[in-house]
Amino acid sequence: MKIVSIHERTVPLESETSNAAISFSTMTASAVVVEIETAKGRFKGLGFSSYGRYGHGGLLNERFIPRLLNAQPEDFIDQAEGNFSMLNFWDVLMQNEKEGGHGERSGAVGVIETAMWDAWAKSEDLPLWALLARDVGHADDGGVAAGETVIYGSGGHYRNDAVDAQDIADEARKCFDDGYAWFKIKVGGVSPVLDNKRIEAAIRVAGASQLIAVDANCSFGNNGLNVYLKQIDEFSLRWIEEPVNPLDYEALTATVKSIQTPVATGENIFAVADVVNLLRYGGLTPGRDTLQMDIVLSYGITEFLRMLSFAESGGWSRRDFIPHAGHQLALHVSSGLGLGGHETASVLDTPFSGVSDDTKIEDGYAYLSDKPGIGIEYKPSLYKYFDGMLN
């Protein structure tokens, strides 16, 4: 296997939404194309950054792309098996990189690794979910089968501080009408009075509080005993997401102990070393709480598999994982490995909204097709960012 070319483009996300912590209006992302040549021909893989961070063009063009292009074809080969190895590919990417520093670097590695997985799946004439089920293995628990996954919708963002209860009700109604399993909204960005009205409106549409989750985006600071947090707890929601700073394990433990509602967290945990600390010291409980590590922001699938392995060794199940962001890669990983589900923005028209056109959503499940790769080509709102890069 030979890498022929790699190209990156930094693009604006063009979103006028915000959460309790940040605005997405000036946010960027990286679109990456990797072309490989194998005995079967040439294949182009597509990768795209995740939501909530910025593009990685600087790191990619300065370090990671040259490192891959300067490698020899044999550097990517597992010498014992004689085949291409994603582990070897990842090791080449991470040459001369010190431990720690899991910030922008992890996202740069993740997006270029995404493109490589897409290219490799295409060279095998398989959708990524099937490649992962074949080479890594699907959850063997009698649950949702490979090629399918539970899917839920997220929304309820703040738009110019004017998203009221009626807006939330309309978004929730569309989410459930479109076949999603449950709906998640933002909290912490307006007054508790208004946020409570938004939550109540969503519950009325859903018909049950367990069909509504909220995302606080760390808006409760380091106070696990926040009064407003207690108010939200009284709704008995599906989960409260990222109530406090993701690396403040003392505050997270205090939060978990102070409320009855399950907690979801992990989207800002970018390496297995941090997952170790989160699960050891964060007070979370397998089978109750949800882990949301963002695969693209966390060095890609290779590192995510290490996270899974550590978590499973401590009593967690793959079904406890529901990765952050409505990313095609996460959709295929959830389906191929047998995770607990997939998140996608169910209302707004963004690159992370919905799923590819070849994916069917019905009764809370996503049914993936057998088209090779991760399906960016079949998602027009995302594929447009690659215009002119595939010639």
> pLDDT of 12-33, one tens digit each?
887 666 665 566 677 899 999 9
- Provide the pLDDT for residue 158: 83
Cβ-Cβ contacts under 8 Å for 37 (sequence gap 6 or more): 1, 2, 3, 4
Q: Which CATH number fits domain 132-386: 3.40.50.1370, 3.40.50.300, 3.20.20.120, 3.55.10.10?
A: 3.20.20.120
Q: Choose the weakest-confidence range: 59-68, 322-331, 370-379.
A: 322-331
- Provide the pLDDT for residue 141: 87
Q: Which residue has the higher pLDDT, 227 or 280?
A: 280
- Provide the pLDDT for residue 386: 96
- Provide the pLDDT for residue 299: 97
- Indicate if 102 belongs to the active site: no
pLDDT at residue 161 above 90? no
Q: What is the mean pLDDT of residues 324-343?
A: 95
Of the pLDDT bands very low, low, confident and very high (cuts 50, 70, 90), residue 224 is: very low
HEC sequence for the chain: CEEEEEEEEEEECCCCCECCCCECCCCEEEEEEEEEEECCEEEEEEEECCCCCCCCHHHHHHHHHHHHHCCCHHHHEECCCCEECHHHHHHHHCCCCCCCCCCHHHHHHHHHHHHHHHHHHHHCCCEHHHHHHHHCCCCCCCCCCCCEEEEEEECCCECCCCCCHHHHHHHHHHHHHCCCCCEEEECCCCCHHHHHHHHHHHHHHHCCHHHEEEECCCCCCCCCCCHHHHHHHCCCCCCEECCCCCCCHHHHHHHHHHCCCCEEECCCCCCHHHHHHHHHHCCCCCCCCEECCCCCCCCCHHHHHHHHHHHHHCCCCHHHECCCCCCHHHHHHHHHHCCCCEEEECCCCCCCECCCCCCEEECCEEECCCCCECCHHHCHHHHHHHCCCCC
Of the pLDDT bands very low, low, confident and very high (cuts 50, 70, 90), residue 157 is: confident
pLDDT at residue 127 above 90? yes
Catalytic residue among 186, 327, 342, 379: 186
pLDDT, tens digit, 9 for 90 and up, residues 308-331? 999 999 999 999 999 997 789 999
Catalytic residue among 138, 184, 324, 327: 324
pLDDT, tens digit, 9 for 90 and up, residues 37-47? 999 999 999 99
Instruction: Rounding to the nearest 10 degrees, give the CA dihedral for residues 335, 152, 251, 50.
Output: 60
- Provide the pLDDT for residue 17: 63
* CATH topology classification for 2-125: Enolase-like; domain 1 (3.30.390)
pLDDT, tens digit, 9 for 90 and up, residues 283-300? 999 999 999 999 999 999
Q: What is the pTM of this model?
A: 0.95
Of the pLDDT bands very low, low, confident and very high (cuts 50, 70, 90), residue 226 is: confident
Q: How many angstroms separate the CA atoms of 24 and 180, rounded?
A: 24
Q: Which residue has the higher pLDDT, 114 or 217?
A: 114
pLDDT, tens digit, 9 for 90 and up, residues 236-257? 999 999 999 989 999 999 999 9
**% of the chain exceeding 90 in pLDDT:** 79
Q: Taking the domains of the chain in order of start, what are their residue ranges?
A: 2-125, 132-386
Q: What is the mean pLDDT of residues 174-179?
A: 96
Q: What is the mean pLDDT of residues 202-230?
A: 88
- Indicate if 324 belongs to the active site: yes
